[in-house]
């Protein structure tokens, strides 16, 4: 515990003595000593659900409305925050930005506008059922209040790095997009679960959409795999953003996430909320 200490000099100034006083906050050995035995979970009843932009929202009413119906049913028994992806329109604006030589941070600023548009769409569809669009500010600290009052809060998935986005390992596309934003929120509020709504059963050894139909049966399906094993496999393509694997291995609260096919099976949302294994579970290897 920090305490006040008084200088022995004539001035007798007061200082706050703490284990961090005088440290650079860079030493690896020191940083290891800052690990907590147990981390405070601010909103352990909240379930973070991320709905894909390209995989779900861009397909229009036929894809979205059945999911809306399930979310309306689910919110009666579960506290949920819905986060939206960017999808095809985000890819279009990235393409324009890349052609103009825009740096990664600028591309991040451009992409978040599309995710926000999708949050607007979902909030309108869910409005009469308690859907309410919120921002990344103080609203996120009020999630429990929104849910207890019968609302279903909706926000955009892209994290607010903006111009401060990390340089990409490959190319210039922002590495932390809407999948990462959903993960970071779930981790930092100590969420009950994190569920990704996609258009595939889960994670395969390659993207089924990029493989000839006759060859799809040869793809390996991963129903449960650790983030560490996935990092070692170093697959060329993934169904979620690659930085999540490293983030999950470093997570303090979140132990796993699940990817489900909500396009073909909207009812799997209820199953996943109940804790059933209906897609691919990626977990933190202890």
Each of the 286 residues of the chain gets a pLDDT tens digit; together they read: 567 777 777 666 777 777 777 677 888 888 888 888 889 999 999 999 999 999 999 999 999 999 999 999 999 999 999 999 999 999 999 999 999 999 999 999 998 899 999 999 999 999 999 999 999 887 888 999 999 999 999 999 999 999 999 999 999 999 999 999 999 999 999 999 999 999 999 999 999 988 888 888 889 999 999 999 999 999 999 999 999 999 999 999 999 999 999 999 999 999 999 999 999 999 999 8
Residue 14 has a pLDDT of 73
Q: How far apart are CA 220 and CA 280, in angstroms?
A: 12
Residue 1 has a pLDDT of 59
- Residue 257 · residue 280 · CB < 8 Å: no
Q: Is 44 left (phi over 0), alpha (psi -120 to 50) or beta?
A: alpha
Reduced to 3 states (helix: H, G, I; strand: E, B; else coil), residue 151 is coil
Work out the number of other CB atoms within 10 angstroms of the CB of residue 58. 19
Residue 213 has a pLDDT of 80
Q: How far apart are CA 83 and CA 153, in angstroms?
A: 9
């Amino acid at each position: 515990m920090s305490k006040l200490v008084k200088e022995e000099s004539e001035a007798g100034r007061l200082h706050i003595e703490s284990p961090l006083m005088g440290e650079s906050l860079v030493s690896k050995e020191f940083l290891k000593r800052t690990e907590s035995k147990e981390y405070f979970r601010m909103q352990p009843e909240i379930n973070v659900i991320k709905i894909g932009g390209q995989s779900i929202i861009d397909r229009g009413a036929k894809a979205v409305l059945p999911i809306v119906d399930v979310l309306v049913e689910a919110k009666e028994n579960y506290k949920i925050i819905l986060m939206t992806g960017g999808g095809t329109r985000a890819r279009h604006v990235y393409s324009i930005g890349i052609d103009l030589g825009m740096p990664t941070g600028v591309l991040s600023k451009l992409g978040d506008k599309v995710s926000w548009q999708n949050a607007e769409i979902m909030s309108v569809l869910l409005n009469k059922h308690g859907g309410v669009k919120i921002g990344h500010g103080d609203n996120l600290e009020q999630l429990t209040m929104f849910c207890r009052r019968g609302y279903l809060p909706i926000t955009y998935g892209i994290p607010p790095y903006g111009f401060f986005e990390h340089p990409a390992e490959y190319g210039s596309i922002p590495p932390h997009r809407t999948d990462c934003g959903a993960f970071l929120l779930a981790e930092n509020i100590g969420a009950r679960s994190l569920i990704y709504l996609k258009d595939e059963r889960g994670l395969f050894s390659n993207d089924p959409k990029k493989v000839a139909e006759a060859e799809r049966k040869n793809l390996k399906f991963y129903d449960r795999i650790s983030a560490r094993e996935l990092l070692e496999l170093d697959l060329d393509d993934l169904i979620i953003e690659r930085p999540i694997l490293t983030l999950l291995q470093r997570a303090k609260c979140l132990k796993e996430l699940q990817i489900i096919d909500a396009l073909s099976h909207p009812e799997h949302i209820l199953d996943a909320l109940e804790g059933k294994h209906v897609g691919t579970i990626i977990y933190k290897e202890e």
